[in-house]
Structure formats: structure tokens, C-alpha cells
Amino acid sequence: MNKLHFKVGLFAAASLLLAGMFVVYLLHARGFFEKTFHLQLAAASADGVAPGVPVVFSGIEIGRVTTLGLNENGGIIIHAEFLGRNAKWLKENSTFTLDKPIVGGAKIRVDSPDLKAPALPDNATMLLLTSDISKEIPALVDRVKAILDNVEHLTRKDGELNATLANAKTVTGRMTGEYGMLEGLLGSPEKARALTDSLDKTRALITKLDGLAAKADQWLFAEKGVAAQTRESLAQIRLLLNDAQSSLKKADVMMTNAVEISANVKDGTQDLAQLRAEIDDAVRKASDLVNQINRKWPFAREPEVKLP
Amino acid sequence: MNFLAASIESLGAKVVGWFTVGYAMAAFLARAGLLLLEPATWNRATFDVVVKQVYFTAVQILHVFLGYALVISWLIITIILSTARDFGLTEFASEMTIRVLVLELLPFLTALFVALRSGSAINTEVALMQVNSELDALAHCKVPPMQFEFLPRLVGGVVSVVTLAGLAGLLALLMGYLAIYGVNTAGFEPYTRTIAKIFDFKIMAGLLVKCALFGLAVTLIPVTAGLETPKKLFMVPVSVLRGMMRVFFAIVAIEVVSLALKYI
């Protein structure tokens, strides 16, 4: 056995086998063993479509445009070919759209909303829609321009937005000051300080009042507090007042008499001395009463009893 | 005036030289082609020489060559993939990889590999035979050198370059699949689609013709360069030098023309 020949034979056999396998694989890949599915697309314009333009379904190429030409009525007929295994994605309710992106080549997009719909027959004719982005660009530019104008108007130097922002800046600047939000609301640190001072004072006052209330409670309503004594005192005062009233009534009678007496001085000299004593008595009683009240009622500082 | 005339003269001499070389090569190729068509050429002896030539050109270096193809493929695939990812063009990465490696770089590198290893050897051998008048002796003994020395070398060269480039290409396809999709079958469908998209009939035929031309260039040019060696021993290195330069230019020219035909 020739070793050299064996090696070369092995090399040749392996190479031929690999080459054969690759050729079969390539033929399979290119759909040589399958039926070719044909489709015709009617379009209004063949702009951007050329033989070799891919037909894509969900972003995956399933076929290619083979030829394109005009029919009798001047319409455009585009012929596309698909491998048999890819024809199942073409349904009767599929839509075909010509996509012309700004960057990259044109392609025909297939959308099959219902994959359970009946399959498209071979050599069927479908309508090709066009979605041309480049035609929408001028309209888009117009709208963007209008928006930019608005933005420019809003952001001009003496615009409302600027003023608002300036105000917001002032307020937030104050808020970061010593008195925080209060300063922001009231406008200056002095006012804010005044408010906090008042609050402090009020707080102190309330504390004092609290204590006072507790004391008053004790003083007024305890077992032998002021309230109980006052009740007794009021009873005495009523007696005193009755006394005073009777005295004053007497004085009244005296005064009536006095009027008469003044008319007849002669008869009334004795009576005048008596009247004098009576009035004195009434005034003493009234003053007594006031003193009593003063003792019981410590708030009235300047009691006045006016004589009638 | 003298200077101008001298430069024109030297230019003319060069052009004539190129034409002579080109004509010699074409004539040699024509003779070889005619001989190939003759049924009498295909005897056991010629076949044995072809087998030997294939053995020395392809089989003997196979492991080195495949290792080298593996490393360079892996490196270039990784570079293309990472660059494509950086630029967000991953969808084009597999196509780019296959086009760069299988269609252009690997055949070119194979041709260079075979030229440096076998082409230079052939050139030296033929030049020495020419200097030592062995070729005349062979012809005298009714062993025509064309049939038993040159034609098997051409055939062996073409077969070797085509086979080696094909094997390296298949290896690169496998490496590309592994690099892009990893060790699983998930990417088989999309990879098949990409391959189907690239390798149409024109591309396959072009690749085959290109590899065959590479194989021819790396054997035919050294043979003709050896044959035109003057019968002086010190002219052998000069002959090899000239032959290898021509081989290099021929390989580059074939590559450039193939690229131009494919993409322009």
C-alpha cells in the first residue's frame, strides 16, 4: 500500500465529501428542492423597487422581488418569489407595504394580522401600499418649526416663563434662609422673626393662664373656697340691702316731709333735726354696706354710692 | 535629449520584456491546455505525478494550514462581531464575516501560502533543471517534460489551492456560526438564510474561478520563470526572485479584478 497515495486519496475524498455536502446544503438553503411561490403586487409607483428588493415578514426576509413592469393600463406589477416553506406567512388578509427608510434600502413589509386566515394561492395579485417617510418629512418639519416658535416665545428674555422662574427663585431662596418656609411666605426675615416672637409669647402666656386656671379652680371651687363663702356673704348682703332699703324709704318720707317743711319753716325746726339724723343713719348704713361688699368682693376698687 | 531617448529606450525594453514574458506564459499555458485535452496525456504515470504534487502542495501542509486558517478566522470574526455590535450593526455581522473571510481573505491567504511554499520550490527546481540541461536530457529520453514535469504541477497547484481555500472557507463558516450563535442549533435558520443570500451561482462560480486562477498563478509563473533562466548557476536566485515577484503581482491583480467585478 502506497502511504502517499492513501493520504492524498483520503484528502481528496474528504474534500469532495465536504464540497458535496456544502453544495447540497447550499441548494437546500436556496430552495432548490422546494416549490417556488410566486406573488404579484400591484402598485401605484415603483419608486425604489428593483429586482432583489427583499420582502420581509416580522423583520425576517422571506422572499425577493424578481421583476417589475407595467401592465396594459399603465399600472405597475411587481413579481416576487418566495421559497415554498415561507409561503405559509402569506395570508388572504395580509397587507403589503413598501417601506423606504431614510437610511438603508427599500423593502416590502408583509403584515399578516390573522395567521389562521386562508393561505394566499400561488400567483395571486395583491395591492402594494406605500409608506414613504421622506414625503412626510416636510410636514413634520413645519410642525416642529411651529413648536420651536412657541418655545422661543415662552423663553424670550422678558417672557412670562423667565419672570415666573425668577419669582420661584426668590421664593425658594428665602425658603433656604434662617426662617425657611415662613420667610418664603412673609417675604423677609424680620417679619418672620416677629411672627415667631409672637408665637413664643403666646405660648408663654398660655402656660401662665394654664397655671392661673388651675389656681382659680382651687381657690374658687375647693371645699372652703371663695364660691362657698360668697354664697354665705350674699345672704348677709341681702339682709343688709333690705336694711338699707328700709332706711332709704324712711329717708324718702322724710324728704317729702322736708318739701312741705320748707314751705312751713316755722313748724319744721324740730323735724329738720330729726331728718338730719335719719339721713345720717341711711348714709352710714349704705357706707357700711359698701364696706361689707368691698371686703367680700375684692375686685371692685372704687365703689361709689351715690346718694339720691 | 540623450537622457530622454535613453529613458524612452529603457521603457521600451521593459514593455518588450513584459510582452515577452506574457507571451511565453500564454504560449506555455496554451500548450499545457492542449496537452490536457489529449487523451494520451492521462496515463498512470502523469496521474502519479499529479498525486505526488497534490501531496506535497496540499496534504503535507494541511494541519499547519488549517491551524493557521482557524486562528486568523477566529481573530477576524471576533473583530468584526465586536465592531458591528459597537456600531449597532449586528444584523450585518454574519454576512460581513462570510464575505470578508470566505470570499476574499482566505483564498488570497491560501494562494500566498502555496506560492511561498510550493511556488518558490517549483521555480528553483525548474531553474536548476534548465541550468543543468536536465530538461533536454528528459526530452531526449522520450520523457516530454511538459507532460511529466510541468502539467502535473499546474494541475496539482490548481487542485491544491481550490481545495485548501474551500476547506478554510468551510472552517471559517463553522467558526462564524460558533462565534455568533454558540454551540447550539438555534441559529441554524438565520445562518442558512444569510448563506443562501450570499452564495448565489455567480458568487460560487466566481470563487471557484478565482481560486483556480490563484492556483494557476502560483505554479505557472514559477515554471515559466524557471524556464527562462540563462544556463548559469548564479542566475538561479535571480530567476526565483523574478518569479516570486511576478507571482505576487499576479495574485494581487487577480484579487483586485475579482473585487472590481463583484462590487463595481
Nearest by CB to residue B166, choosing from A4, A19, A31, is A19
Residue A30, chain B, CB below 8 Å: the answer is yes
Residue B163, chain A, CB below 8 Å: the answer is yes
Q: Do A15 and B163 touch (CB under 8 A)?
A: yes
B184 assigned to some structural domain: yes
CA distance B202 to chain A (A): 13
Cα separation of A308 and A286, whole Å? 12
- Each of the 264 residues of chain B gets a pLDDT tens digit; together they read 788 999 999 999 999 989 998 998 999 999 989 988 888 888 888 888 889 999 999 999 999 999 999 999 999 999 999 999 898 888 788 888 999 999 999 999 999 999 999 999 999 999 999 999 888 888 888 888 888 889 999 999 999 999 999 999 999 999 999 998 889 888 888 888 889 888 988 999 999 999 999 999 999 999 999 998 998 999 999 999 999 999 999 999 999 999 999 888
B62 assigned to some structural domain: yes
Cell digits of residue B87: 456600531
- What pLDDT does residue A155 have? 79
- Domain total of chain B: 1
User: Does residue A139 carry a pLDDT above 90?
Assistant: no
Q: What is the ipTM of this complex?
A: 0.83
Instruction: Grade residue A92 by pLDDT with cuts at 50, 70 and 90.
Output: confident
B141 assigned to some structural domain: yes
**Helix orientation angle between B151-181 and B90-98, rounded to the nearest 10 degrees:** 160
Q: Do B59 and A18 touch (CB under 8 A)?
A: no
Average pLDDT over residues A40-45: 84
- What pLDDT does residue A263 have? 63
Average pLDDT over residues A50-56: 88
Mind listing the pLDDT tens digit for each residue in A242-259? 887 787 777 777 777 766
Nearest by CB to residue A22, choosing from B52, B58, B170, is B170
Residue A7, chain B, CB below 8 Å: the answer is yes
H or E element: which one contains A196? helix A189-221
- What pLDDT does residue B149 have? 85
Instruction: Grade residue A200 by pLDDT with cuts at 50, 70 and 90.
Output: confident
- What pLDDT does residue A69 have? 85
Mind listing the pLDDT tens digit for each residue in A67-88? 888 888 888 889 998 888 888 8
User: Does residue A15 carry a pLDDT above 60?
Assistant: yes
Nearest CA in chain B to A62: B193
Neighbouring CB atoms inside 10 A of B61's CB total 17
Chain A partners within 8 Å of B62 (Cβ): 11
Nearest by CB to residue B166, choosing from A4, A15, A28, is A15
User: Does residue A299 carry a pLDDT above 80?
Assistant: no
Instruction: Grade residue A201 by pLDDT with cuts at 50, 70 and 90.
Output: confident
CB within 8 Å of chain B, chain A residues 38-77: 60-61
Q: Which of B169, B3, B189 is nearest to B97 (CA)?
A: B169
Q: Do B55 and A12 touch (CB under 8 A)?
A: no
Q: Which of B219, B230, B241, B228 is nearest to B149 (CA)?
A: B219
Nearest by CB to residue B199, choosing from A7, A8, A26, is A26
Residue B92, chain A, CB below 8 Å: the answer is no
Nearest CA in chain A to B193: A29
B7 assigned to some structural domain: no
User: Which residues are CB-neighbours of B105 under 8 A, at least 6 positions away?
Assistant: B72, B76
Residue B209, chain A, CB below 8 Å: the answer is no
Nearest CA in chain B to A52: B197
Considering only residues B250 and A33, tell me which one the structure prediction assigns the higher pLDDT.
B250
User: Does residue A265 carry a pLDDT above 60?
Assistant: no
User: Which residues are CB-neighbours of B168 under 8 A, at least 6 positions away?
Assistant: B65, B66, B69, B73, B106, B109, B110
Considering only residues B237 and A44, tell me which one the structure prediction assigns the higher pLDDT.
B237
On average, the pLDDT of chain A sits at: 80
Question: What is the extent of the structural domain holding B43?
Answer: 25-263
Three-state DSSP class for residue A48? coil
Chain A partners within 8 Å of B200 (Cβ): 30
User: Which residues are CB-neighbours of B70 under 8 A, at least 6 positions away?
Assistant: B171, B175
